Amino acid sequence: MSLEADRLMLRTAVEEARAGLAEGGIPIGAALYGPDGATLLGRGRNRRVQDGDPSMHAETAAFRAAGRRRSYRGTTMVTTLSPCWYCSGLVRQFGISRVVVGENRTFEGGHGWLADHGVQIVILDDPECAALMQEFIAARPDLWNEDIGL
Ligand SMILES: [Zn+2]
């Protein structure tokens, strides 16, 4: 998969994050793409605030939107922020092959653990993703701490 394709997939996740922010939610977005790196299977955003559901993370929202699938081999989960343990568990549980991470400056999730278990990890270190989270955390530290369980 090319870096260009990965950056293009990240755009979808960023759109989701921005939509979440506009709804008063936590600006984390994600999308699940097919093995060709271009077919969008599902997209979603963190919906803790919107749904009152702390288990509705961006990755789980994208995963649920994709519906049922026999195999996740070759699929890519793209997310604006390094995946938490819960979402890293989802990636391993269902055998998602790749995870593209927008940034891991704000939050160091489970991507190292995923890499240790054969998941291909690409960290784009995207400045827009980092700025989005940093601005959000500065504005709503209470909500951010609630989300990461502090
Ligand atoms: Zn998560």
Q: How far apart are the C-alpha atoms of 132 and 43, rounded to whole Å? A: 18
Task: Please report the pLDDT score of residue 149 as a whole number.
Answer: 84
CA of 21 to the centre of ligand 1 (A): 17
CA of 87 to the centre of ligand 1 (A): 4
The predicted-structure confidence for 20-56, as pLDDT tens digits, reads as follows 999 999 999 999 999 999 999 999 999 999 999 999 9
CA 87, 131, 140, 26 dihedral sign is negative
Q: Cβ distance 104 to 82 under 8 Å? A: yes
**Number of other CB atoms surrounding residue 42 within 10 Å:** 17
The predicted-structure confidence for 93-110, as pLDDT tens digits, reads as follows 999 999 999 999 999 899
DSSP E strand boundaries for the chain: 29-33, 40-45, 76-81, 98-103, 120-123
CA of 104 to the centre of ligand 1 (A): 13
CA of 81 to the centre of ligand 1 (A): 9
Is pTM beyond 0.85? Reply is yes
pLDDT tops 80 at residue 1: no
The predicted-structure confidence for 60-88, as pLDDT tens digits, reads as follows 999 999 999 999 999 999 999 999 999 99
Task: Please report the pLDDT score of residue 150 as a whole number.
Answer: 78
Which residue(s) pair with 7 in the sheet?
none
Q: How far apart are the C-alpha atoms of 105 and 54, rounded to whole Å? A: 22
**Catalytic residue annotation:** 59
End-to-end CA distance of the chain: 36
